[in-house]
Amino acid sequence: MSAPYINGSSVWPLRCSENEPVQIVSGDVRDKLSSLPDETVHCCVTSPPYWGMRDYGYHGQIGAEGTIEEYISNLVSCFREVRRVLRADGTFWLNIANTYTSGGRGWRDKDIKNQGRAMSYRPDTPEGLKPKDLIGVAWMLAMSLQRDGWYLRSDIIWHKPNCQPESVKDRVTVSHEYLFMFSKSENYYFDQEAIKEPTADGKRSPRSTGQCNTRSVRSSRGTLRSSCALTRGKRHGGLHAHNRGRANAHPPLDSRGRAAE
């Protein structure tokens, strides 16, 4: 297979051993994804710009669409390319947050604690919604991706105990975002053992292999079952609390790919 070239350098095969560093490809993802071969990526973890929340000063930027429908459509098209380059056993992790209607305001001033909040535009209130409505864009996007062919497997709550304060006085402060887990196929690779937590007695089984593959195998009765050797330990739940200060936009990942505490 001939290697595609991006920014003048070969990007395939990607290498991740000590002597074979991974190459970082910089550019608009909508352009760069088209240069990657089919079914060559094991995992995708991303957090696209949220709708109407930031102005990055980039013409045609994702998140600055005039309507929520256009925003959802653009991301569905982009992640369709992700599904093309993802291996059949790969997974796709999407961090996204909800937002509120602007209430008819056409701009937003900068904040002393968060200079990036300043915006020269604000999107109009979506049709059918009212001022001050919670739009629910996170689930709108998740459902649209599911309809487009993705398997929606988990909705993980990223809880932020030390979240960005809000000046609003008639509702609770938003202190969470979503991390959606998608797969390309019904059966895929998922390492349950690597993220298991100790049981109440603080023990984990020494038989842990560190791997768990959801590949289906045929049993003696001729039926398909999941091939996965589970060991002692508590399975990781769908709530992750991250409390490292307000400066971090996204939780860091530890050596196992799990969000670090």
* pLDDT (tens digit per residue) in 140-156: 999 999 999 999 999 99
Instruction: pLDDT band for 241, please (50, 70, 90 cuts).
Output: low
Both tokens of 173, joined, read 């402060």
CB distance 38 to 84 below 8 Å: yes
Q: Is this structure's pTM higher than 0.85?
A: no
Cis previous bond, 13, omega within 30? yes
Q: What is the mean pLDDT of residues 206-217?
A: 47
Instruction: Break the chain into its structural domains and give their ranges.
Output: 14-189+237-241
Determine the pLDDT at residue 25. 83
Q: Is the pLDDT of residue 259 over 80?
A: no
With a CB cutoff of 8 Å and minimum separation 6, the contacts of 44 are 82, 86, 90, 91, 92, 93
**Contact criterion met (CB below 8 Å) for 158 and 142:** no
Q: Which amino acid is at 199?
A: T
CB of 231 within 8 A of CB of 208? yes
Chain segment 7-60, per-residue pLDDT in tens = 445 555 555 556 666 778 888 898 999 989 999 999 999 999 988 877 778 888
Query: Using CA atoms, how far apart are residues 13 and 23, in angstroms rounded to an integer?
Result: 10
Average pLDDT over residues 205-209: 49
CA torsion, ordered 258, 47, 101, 242, to nearest 10 deg: 20
Do residues 89 and 185 make contact, with C-beta atoms less than 8 angstroms apart?
yes
**In CATH terms, is domain 14-189+237-241 a member of 3.40.50.150?**
yes
DSSP category for residue 33 = G
For residues 111 and 124, the answer to whether their CB atoms sit within 8 Å is no
